[in-house]
Amino acid sequence: MDLIPHLRERRLKVTPQRMSILKILNRHIHPSVDELYEEIRKDFPSISLATVYKNLNILKDTGMVFEINTHTNKSKLDIYMHPHAHIVCKKCGALFDMDFTDSVYAYKKELEKKIAGKITKFDVTATVDSCENCKIV
């Protein structure tokens, strides 16, 4: 996926650091900030954690990146390219993306009618006691 138009759409500069963050998040591996930082350092060994946080905050402010709260109280990061739900496993900590169904879109429209406004981003996080990963192990 070409990420440059998404940055320009939000009037953000296309920088190597931002591109690195977005490319990693676009793999949908849901890293923590520390895990993201370690991945970025493979391409940019001298990058500071402060630079990563600064860019993440800018990307979060524009709605391109968001944090997912997990039961471990360690937030995970994801890119927001289209509306989708997150399934978090309490047992193993796995985090999965799941596309919305028509009924979720219908619910969003119902909410918009109730609040008489447009919902610009709709996040759904569901927590399960165990998942398919747990059953394999």
Average pLDDT over residues 93-106: 87
**Long-range pairs, 79-86, Cβ under 8 A, ≥24:** 79/22, 79/25, 79/26, 79/28, 80/121, 81/1, 81/6, 81/26, 83/108, 83/121, 83/122, 85/124, 85/125, 85/126, 86/30, 86/123, 86/124, 86/125, 86/126
pLDDT surpasses 90 at 11: yes
Fold of 82-137: Dna Ligase; domain 1 (3.30.1490)
- Write down the pLDDT at residue 124: 86
Condensed to tens digits (0 to 9), the pLDDT of residues 36-92 reads 999 999 999 999 999 999 999 999 999 899 899 887 778 899 998 888 889 999 888
Task: Check residues 26 and 69 and name the one with the higher pLDDT.
Answer: 26
* Whole-number average pLDDT of the chain: 90
Task: Tell me the domain boundaries of the chain.
Answer: 1-81, 82-137
Q: Going by CATH, does the domain composed of 1-81 fall within 1.10.10.10?
A: yes
Query: For residue 57, what pLDDT is reported?
Result: 96
